[in-house]
Structure 1
Amino acid sequence: MGILSNKKANQADARQVDAFEIVAAQVVDVLATAGVVLDERNLVLRASPGAIQFGLVQNRHLIHSALVRLVEDARSTSGAAEQELQIEAGLQREQLWVHARAAKFGDRYVMLLVDDRTEAKRLEVTRRDFVANVSHELKTPIGAISLLTEAIAGAHDDPDTIRKFSASLQKEAARLGSLVQELMQLSRVQGANLSDTAVELDLALVINDAVDRNQVLAEQRGVKLVTSAIKGSRMVGDYEMLTTAVRNLVENAIAYSDKGSQVGIGLKEIGGVAEIAVTDSGIGISEDEQERIFERFYRVDPSRSRDTGGTGLGLSIVKHAASNHKGEVRLFSKEGVGSTFTLRLPIQNRETN
Structure 2
Amino acid sequence: MKKRLIAINAVIVIIGFTVAFAIAGMKIQAQYRMEFTNRLDTALAILQTRKEDILQNPKTVAENVGKELSQSGQQIRISIIDPSGKVVGDSAKEEIDQNHLTRPEIQAALHSGRGYDTRMSASVQQRYYYEAIYLPGDFYLRAALPTAELDAALKRLWMTALLSMLLGIAVVCALTGYLVYRVTEPLQKLSAAAKQISGGDYSCRVDGSFRDEVGELALSFNRMAESTENAVAQLKSQQKQLEGVLQGMNDGVIAASKDGTILFLNQSAGRLLKNPSISAGRKLEGSLLINRIAERMKAALRGDSFDKQNIETEDGKQYSIYTAVIPGQRDAAALAVITDETRIRKLERLRSEFVANVTHELKTPLTSIRGSIELLKSTNRDEKTRLYFYDVLDIEAERLQHLIDDMLVLSQIENAKEDPSARPCVVANAVEKCVSRLRPVAEKSGIAVQIQVDPSLIVSCSPTRLEQLIGNLIENAIKYNRPDGRVDIIGVRQRKTAVIRVKDTGIGIAPEHFGRLFERFYRVDASRSREIGGTGLGLSIVKHLAVLYGGEVGVESQAGKGSTFTVRLPLAQDGSEKSALKTI
Same fold (TM over 0.5): yes
CA distance in 1, matches of 2:478, 2:386: 31
SS in 1 for 2:481: coil
CA contact (8 A) 1:31 1:48 kept: no
CA distance in 2, matches of 1:34, 1:203: 51
Counterpart position of 2:537 = 313
CA distance in 1, matches of 2:299, 2:433: 60
Of 345, 350, 368, 1:144 maps to 368
Counterpart position of 1:290 = 514
State the AA in 2 paired with 1:271.
R
CA contact (8 A) 1:200 1:350 kept: no
Write the mapping of 1:227-238 to structure 2, written as runs, cut at 5 A: 227-238=451-462
CA distance in 1, matches of 2:501, 2:545: 15
RMSD: 3.9
CA contact (8 A) 1:36 1:112 kept: yes
Is 1:43 the counterpart of 2:268? The answer is no
Counterpart position of 1:97 = 318
C-alpha change, 1:157 and 1:36, in structure 2 (3 Å) is: closer
Deviation at 1:351, TM superposition (A): 4.9
CA contact (8 A) 1:329 1:342 kept: yes
State the AA in 1 paired with 2:273.
A
CA distance in 1, matches of 2:413, 2:445: 29
C-alpha change, 1:113 and 1:234, in structure 2 (3 Å) is: farther
Counterpart position of 2:390 = 166
CA distance in 1, matches of 2:499, 2:464: 18
Deviation at 1:59, TM superposition (A): 5.2
SS in 2 for 1:194: coil
Q: Percent identity?
A: 31
Could you give the per-residue CA deviations for residues 16-38 of structure 1, whole angstroms, max 9, x where no partner exists? 959x78x97xx98x999766553
Could you give the per-residue CA deviations for residues 105-145 of structure 1, whole angstroms, max 9, x where no partner exists? 9x998775533322431231121111111111111111111
CA contact (8 A) 1:194 1:237 kept: no
CA distance in 2, matches of 1:32, 1:229: 54
TM-score, length basis structure 1: 0.78
Could you give the per-residue CA deviations for residues 159-186 of structure 1, whole angstroms, max 9, x where no partner exists? 2212222222222222222211111121
Higher strand share: 1
SS in 1 for 2:430: helix
Which stretches of structure 1, 4 residues or longer, exceed 6 Å deviation after superposition?
30-33, 54-58, 102-105, 107-111
Give the number of aligned pairs.
328
C-alpha change, 1:95 and 1:231, in structure 2 (3 Å) is: closer
CA distance in 1, matches of 2:537, 2:564: 18
Structure 1 residue runs of 5 or longer lacking an equivalent are: 1-9, 74-80
Counterpart position of 1:181 = 405
Deviation at 1:297, TM superposition (A): 1.3
CA distance in 1, matches of 2:506, 2:516: 18
Write the mapping of 1:97-246 to structure 2, written as runs, cut at 5 A: 97-100=318-321, 112-154=336-378, 156-246=380-470
CA contact (8 A) 2:297 2:336 kept: no
Counterpart position of 2:201 = none
Deviation at 1:248, TM superposition (A): 0.8
Deviation at 1:155, TM superposition (A): 5.4
Counterpart position of 1:76 = none
Of 279, 282, 291, 1:63 maps to 291
C-alpha change, 1:135 and 1:334, in structure 2 (3 Å) is: same
Deviation at 1:315, TM superposition (A): 0.7
SS in 2 for 1:151: helix
SS in 1 for 2:516: coil
CA contact (8 A) 2:489 2:503 kept: yes
Higher helix share: 2
TM-score, length basis structure 2: 0.49
State the AA in 2 paired with 1:241.
R
SS in 2 for 1:197: coil
CA contact (8 A) 1:36 1:48 kept: no
CA distance in 2, matches of 1:272, 1:220: 38
Deviation at 1:213, TM superposition (A): 2.8
State the AA in 2 paired with 1:207.
V
CA distance in 1, matches of 2:312, 2:552: 29
C-alpha change, 1:205 and 1:54, in structure 2 (3 Å) is: farther
CA distance in 1, matches of 2:346, 2:316: 11
Counterpart position of 2:496 = 272
Of 324, 330, 348, 2:554 maps to 330
CA contact (8 A) 1:54 1:89 kept: no
CA contact (8 A) 2:523 2:529 kept: yes
Counterpart position of 1:5 = none
Could you give the per-residue CA deviations for residues 179-206 of structure 1, whole angstroms, max 9, x where no partner exists? 1111112112111242423222222222
CA distance in 1, matches of 2:273, 2:457: 46
Mark the structure with the bigger radius of gyration. 2
Counterpart position of 1:3 = none
CA distance in 1, matches of 2:416, 2:531: 31
Counterpart position of 2:126 = none
CA contact (8 A) 2:497 2:570 kept: yes
CA distance in 2, matches of 1:325, 1:55: 39
Deviation at 1:72, TM superposition (A): 5.4
Query: Using CA pairs below 8 Å that are at least 6 residues apart, which structure has the higher relative contact order?
Result: 1
Counterpart position of 1:78 = none
State the AA in 1 paired with 2:567.
L
CA contact (8 A) 2:297 2:335 kept: no
